[in-house]
């Protein structure tokens, strides 16, 4: 007897698009520059300009490129040119700002991809999600923010109890 239950991405809501945007957002939110430096990536003080771009930016850009190549290209083009031309205007603005900082100010534009390219790619990835995938993404992010808040509260609580330099009365009292 065979089972009639199959894994269908449209029914369950989990797909390659959802996985890529969730990992890119979680990397952007939870891996800081200091954490990258602790892992051996010279994100803050490195000489290599490609090392100063956050891994979430790389993942988001490669995700858009991968989805474009595997068949989402017409949909991405429709999002950029028809449905949300503001994203296209933002991309053009990025190129103008990069040219301005590189040519006129002689400043390396290594911080700009994290500031401008990451949101553009995340907007495109989120626009590709259907409503079920969007709900799952919201639940994933809510779960990770709740874990982060719980860890921060636990650390704050343990520091405030064991630290002799703080007064014993809570700040709200």
Is residue 134 in some structural domain? yes
List pLDDT tens digits, range 145-156.
899 899 888 888
Residues whose CB is less than 8 angstroms from the CB of residue 74 and which lie 6 or more positions away in sequence, other chains included: none
Judge whether 167 lies within some domain.
no
Question: What is the rounded CA–CA span in Å between residue 46 and residue 52?
Answer: 7
Do the Cβ atoms of 29 and 137 come closer than 8 Å? no
pLDDT in tens, 63-105: 999 999 998 889 888 888 888 788 788 778 877 877 777 777 7
| Residue 172 falls inside a structural domain | no
Distance, CA of 52 to CA of 130 (rounded, Å): 33
pTM: 0.70
CA nearest to 113, candidates 40, 46, 28: 28
pLDDT of residue 44: 67
In a domain, 105, yes or no: yes
Q: What are all long-range contacts of 74-77, with beta carbons under 8 Å and residues at least 24 apart?
A: 75/128, 76/124, 76/128
The parent domain of residue 59 ranges over 14-139
Whether 80 is covered by a domain: the verdict is yes
Report yes or no on 3 lying in a domain.
Answer: no
Q: Is the four-CA dihedral 78, 14, 132, 91 of positive or negative sign? A: negative
- The structural domain count of the chain equals 1
pLDDT tens for 24-37 read: 998 888 888 788 88
CA distance linking residue 147 with residue 74, whole number of Å: 38
d(CA 141, CA 64): 20
Given a cut of 90, whether residue 59 has pLDDT beyond it is yes
Q: Over 60: is that where the pLDDT of 169 sits? A: no
Is 74 part of any domain? yes
């Amino acid at each position: 007897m065979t089972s009639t239950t199959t894994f269908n991405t449209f029914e369950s809501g989990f797909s390659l698009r959802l996985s890529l945007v969730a990992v890119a957002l979680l990397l952007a939110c939870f891996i800081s520059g200091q954490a990258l430096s602790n892992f051996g990536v010279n994100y803050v003080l490195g000489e290599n300009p490609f090392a100063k771009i956050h891994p979430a930016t790389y993942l988001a850009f490669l995700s858009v490129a991968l989805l474009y190549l595997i068949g989402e290209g017409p949909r991405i083009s429709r999002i950029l040119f028809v449905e949300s031309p503001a994203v296209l205007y933002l991309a053009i603005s990025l190129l103008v700002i990069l040219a301005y900082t590189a040519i006129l100010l002689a400043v390396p534009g290594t911080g700009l991809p994290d500031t401008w390219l990451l949101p553009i790619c995340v907007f495109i990835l989120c626009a590709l999600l259907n409503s079920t995938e969007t709900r799952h993404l919201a639940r994933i992010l809510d779960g990770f923010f709740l874990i982060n808040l719980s860890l921060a509260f636990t650390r704050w609580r343990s520091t405030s109890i064991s630290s002799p330099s703080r007064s014993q009365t809570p700040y709200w009292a």
